[in-house]
Amino acid sequence: MSLLKNSALSVMTVFQLLCSIFWNLLSKFRSGLKSEIGVFFPMLILRVLENVLQPSFLQKMTVLSLLDKISQDSQVIVDAFVNYDCDVDAPNIFERTVNGLLKTALGPPPGSVTSLSPGQDMTFRHESVKCLVRIIKSMGSWMDQQLKVGELNPPKSFDSENLTENHTYLEDANSADYELHPEANSEFSNAATLEQRRAYKIEIQKGVALFNRKPSKGIEFLISTKKIGSSPEEVASFLKSASGLNESMIGDYFGEREEFSIKVMHAYVDSFNFENMGFGDAIRFFLRGFRLPGEAQKIDRIMEKFAERYCKCNPNSFTSADTAYVLAYSVIMLNTDAHNSMVKDKMTKADFIRNNRGIDDGKDLPEDYLGALYDQIVKNEIKMKAESSVPQSKQGNSLNRLLGLDGILNLVWKQTEEKPLSANRNLLKHIQEQFKAKSSKSEIVYYAVLDPTILRFMVEVCWGPMLAAFSVTLDQSDDKEATSQCLQGIRHAVHVTSMMGMQTQRDAFVTTVAKFTYLHCAADMKQKNVDAVKAIISIAIEDGNNLQEAWEHILTCLSRFEHLQLLGEGAPSDASFLNTSNSESEERTKNNVNYPSLKKKGTLQNPAVMAVVRGGSYDSTSAGVKSPGLVSSEQINNFISNLYLLDQIGNFELNHIFAHSQRLNSEAIVAFVKALCKVSMSELQSPTDPRVFSLTKIVEVAHYNMNRIRLVWSRIWSVLSDFFVAVGLSENLSVAIFVMDSLRQLASKFLEREELANYNFQNEFLRPFAVVMQKSCSTEIKELIVRCISQMVLSRVNNIKSGWKSVFMVFTAAAADERKSIVLLAFETMEKIVREYFPYITETEALTFTDCVKCLITFTNSRFNSDVSLNAIAFLRFCAVKLADGGLASNDKSKGDDSCVPIVKDSALDGETCVEKDDNMSFWVPLLSGLSKLTSDPRAAIRKSALEVLFNILKDHGHLFTQSFWANIFKCEIFPIFGFPLDSKEAYKEEGCFSPVSGPLHPDGGSIWDSESSVVAAECLIDLFVQFFDLVRAQLHQVVSILVGFIRSQGQGPSSAGVAALMRLAADLRGKLSEDDWRDIFLCLREAAGSSLPGFVKLLKTMDTIEIPDVTRPNDEIESSSGRGVIKDGSEDDNLQTGAYIISRMKVHIALQLLIIQVVSDLYKMHWKLLSVNIVSILVEIYSSISSHSHELNSQTTLLVKLDKICTILEISDPPLVHFENEAYNNYLNFLHDLLMNSPSLPEEKNVEAELVSVCKIVLQRYLECSGFGYIKKAEVHCFLPLGSAKKEELAARTPLVLTVMRILASLETDCFTKYVSQLFPLLTDLVRSEHCSLEVQRLLSSVFRSCIGPIVMK
């Protein structure tokens, strides 16, 4: 209390002594004086500190000196925040101190009246800034100490439940505190608990502030955030006990008509105990907690409830509660009348007694009782709590009310002006009783904390005021010591915020110091701005590990600083090289005299200097570019003089930051590189002044950090890779070239390191080259990339490893380029790689070899030079030779691996894969697949070469393949060449047997194959199949189907090639073909013959609807009839065109049928001894079906007439229908006759004799029909007309077939002929009577009668 009584004395000796005593109490006894310090600190320190306008200079200097001492003790600062700012019932000492220092640092507001002189004000400002710097420095020191201790002793989770109440911690500066007061209640608390307490306090304060504006909203907020309960009793308890609530607002809330507010008011009143308490004392005690509202109805409700409560506590006091209600209302009126200066005529005692007559249920209350009550009210006014009558201070009044300190402060502040100290003895006594009550409470705990995380909450409180104080001082003051203090404070603030991971606060401080460097407007720079540059360099070196995104601001400053240095030295700008051609750049380099040193020459009117002198905003990319107006010589001279200031910072400090990057931790280096790339991008994309400073530093930083572990370096390169790609695609060609050259330098350095097996980093490192090569439109860039890759490959071939993938991607893109020079340049290197460095290609994995093959195939598509394409194909064969010779480096490395390498093709059978135990098999697949696709090349030379190389590789090295791998080759590589579907179920579609016609590589109908390609393909296929027949026997059906498809082709070349290939296949494999194999061959032929029949027949039916004009009419008649509408809408031409198309299709169809029957006949003649009965049955079906089909075609008289008319009108040749029928039956007869003669056992099993005679009958009948005789009854014959010329031609065409029949009949044995003579004799006799075109018919007919029929008759 002595401190309290003397705290406001103006005697400086006493005040200084008070401060000294308080410092000793604070530093040594704070754990036992928590409540007292919570009162003394605001009264003794904050009272003076927050007085900005009319402070005592000596007192405030004493307080600032005391705060300087406190600020140097980091533990005191932390303890103050933990025990007061995080305690709901305590003042925010730390927050108010920081805010008070901010107000002092900013000085009196503009326009205000102050008693301070300018010198005193400046002293206050500097001292307050100094204190703020000390505070943040102490926070950083405490953090570093705790983190260092945490590293030595891993932190344990503190649980307040498991901590002893008297647990103490020892600190050098504070050991006395805990040694002298072991009984003090202290305990450790972790950051999480403090965070909850701090958040709780902030929420409570927010709710109180909202209540003081609008009570109902405040209560709703507190209930919704669960700071108070939702019951009326809990709300009333809060309103009764909480500090900081506005008493008037409490009264207004009690007087509201809402149901909940009324319940709260009732609960509030019911919480009082008025037992044995006089009425005057009771109402005085009741009204101390709130101010009655001004509205009478509200007062009425409150007094009504008070009266009820008073009577309930004192049942014998009044007759009824109405008496207490009326009396309470009278007392309120008396209190207002007696103590309101506006009331002139005061109420007398007699008036008061008279006003209250008859209120006790019609009776009067004792006059003595009413008189005593009157005297009590008049002498002692009924007031709210003491603080309610104290005028509110503009500064800190809300906190004072919240903490209950306004009464104390009013007592101290005004005791010398208004009242003597003795007048407040009762108040002092009351305060003393409060202190005793608080000290006796066991729940008062002094918390200690060791977790540095608490600094996060402290920074949230102080960072804003500190930033404001530092930035304003830096901006307004040129005092070296003051600005140095501010920069030091910012450095400490960055250290704390970065270590705590507070990104927003950290970036705010870094941005502030970066802007204050004034590097963006160098003409206005001063020494303090140069000091800011030094500070930002120190921040980069000291706290680089935690700067993260803030690196961008620092690196931007370094970039601008380097730019100013270059201007000062007179070096030409980067833009002079990047925005001009090479020749112009060389010329400018020679003429560097145009860029003399500004420091030596003085002013210089060049655009670069003009832009810098004009300056710009901190965020602008190019300073002063768009700023209008000229620059005066004076401005330039000021700028040049400022350049000398920058000499204080040498290149060593600048480069040290980048060299120091190798000491950054894993997260920091990635953030550093990201920021550096972003700054470099901004430099390079400048429209007027592109620069390469940061780009060169990127290369340096990458070189410095190249020895980091792969995991970290991969993350670094992921950032750099995207950067190089983005800039490499820049529209500025010079910038892109410079970037790619920088990438080359970096890649060359990195390729000096060897990569272990199964890693992929070399590929990632070279990937930017490939991406830029694929996306860039610049010839110069592409040519540069090809040269860079060529140089690196040829110089570091043994270290490429996984990088081969990117290398081949580059060359693949080059091979597909439209410029000849790039293609030839890339192929030159590709040739060396394949010839000299082939083992390195497959050193890592098979996919690399796949990329090599794709690259070579792309070169084969080159349109500039056929030699390149052919050489690429030759290299593919060379690759195959290397593979076959086992020249793969990876083979030796993979011997220990027993796992199988799957060979997967996208077009594999339903996802089926071929798995081989030899790793080499995986290398063959891309090679063979690439050649297979090349067979579809539109260039004949390339197509032929690809076919030959593919099949030569298979023939030369097929012995290395297993049967399953051969199956995969045929299905995935060979069959697709011929358009053969991989699923055999789809081999026969609408028109029957598969033909290469449906494949994309068929030689007809607009396809790219010619006859020569067809011949080569068929020959190669058969050569391969015959050579490895034992391994590929299962593919016979598909191979024969392909050959039959060739036979079905419309072109003469493919058809001949197919026939020759099939005959050769049968000849070369005759001894190896089984019955099933022969069956497959002839079934394919049968299907080929019959598959087209349904479609062909359907086509012929369209002729039924076509009307053909009579060719006997003259042309002019046809034209005139057409003009009269006989033939309308041009339908005649359409009909003729349709008929022509049908005739064309018919000729093709007939040729196919004849070719198939010829192939069947040839195969039978060559291999008849190997054919079984079942195979012969298939042959009979083939002959029979084709012969019957030919007979049916010649029997359609109407169709033949229409076709004849069309041929006559269009002057085209008739379809060889008769020839078709003759050839079909001729081959059929010869086949049956050979069977009868050469296979005696077959005729019995298959009844060949009957089939032969049946065919002979058909031939004879057709001949007789043609001769006009036919096989009819003699009774019906009356006369014979001579044959016309057409019939004679047809008869002559059928004559050879009849002669064949005659010879076959003549060769039959007598028994056989006798068996069928009854069927043949009528036909033979008709032949005698018919007309013939050849005497040979009559001669052979005579021979048949003589040799066959004669002996029968003679028996």
Instruction: Give the largest Cα separation in the chain, rounded.
Output: 184
Tell me how far apart the alpha carbons of residues 1013 and 524 are, in angstroms, rounded to a whole number: 82
Residue 902: strand, helix, or coil:
strand
Residue the block writes with tokens 């704390």: 496
Cβ proximity of 68 and 131 under 8 Å: yes
**CA distances for 954 relative to 703, 959, 1034, 1036, angstroms:** 49, 8, 17, 17
Instruction: Look at strands 914-916 and 901-903 and give their pairing.
Output: antiparallel
Residue 529, token pair as written in the block:
């701005």
Cβ-based neighbours of 1128, under 8 Å, separated by 6 or more? none
Provide the 8-state DSSP code for 162.
Answer: G
Look up residue 966 and give its amino acid: W
Tell me how far apart the alpha carbons of residues 798 and 341 are, in angstroms, rounded to a whole number: 105
Strand residue runs (E) in 933-1047? none
Strand residue runs (E) in 83-204? 186-188
Expressed in percent and rounded to 5, the helix, strand and coil fractions of the chain are 70, 0, 25
Look up residue 841 and give its amino acid: I
Tell me how far apart the alpha carbons of residues 759 and 1105 are, in angstroms, rounded to a whole number: 74
Cβ proximity of 1195 and 1221 under 8 Å: no
**CA distances for 652 relative to 655, 658, 659, 660, 691, angstroms:** 5, 10, 10, 11, 21
The length of the chain in residues reads 1355
C-alpha triplet 248, 251, 254: angle, nearest 5°: 150
Cβ-based neighbours of 312, under 8 Å, separated by 6 or more? none
623-635 as b/e, with b when 16 or more CB fall inside 10 Å?
bbbeeeeebeeeb
Which strand (E) or helix (H) includes residue 293?
none
Residue 159: strand, helix, or coil:
coil
Cβ proximity of 1232 and 1168 under 8 Å: no
Query: What is 447-490 written as a DSSP string?
Result: EE---TTHHHHHHHHHHHHHHHHHHHHHHH---HHHHHHHHHHH
Cβ proximity of 594 and 726 under 8 Å: no
H helix count then E strand count, the chain = 65, 4
Cβ proximity of 1332 and 1295 under 8 Å: yes
Tell me how far apart the alpha carbons of residues 489 and 1254 are, in angstroms, rounded to a whole number: 120
C-alpha triplet 992, 996, 999: angle, nearest 5°: 105
Residue 1102, token pair as written in the block:
């369209």
Cβ proximity of 251 and 292 under 8 Å: yes
Strand residue runs (E) in 191-342? none
Tell me how far apart the alpha carbons of residues 1002 and 1000 are, in angstroms, rounded to a whole number: 6
Report which of 636, 643, 803, 793 is spatially closest to residue 717, judged by C-alpha positions.
803
Residue 954: strand, helix, or coil:
helix
Residue in 179, 183, 275, 295 annotated catalytic? 295
Residues 191, 196, 201, 204, Cα dihedral to 10°: 170
Tell me how far apart the alpha carbons of residues 779 and 782 are, in angstroms, rounded to a whole number: 5
For residue 308, indicate whether it is catalytic.
Answer: no
Q: Catalytic site residues?
A: 295
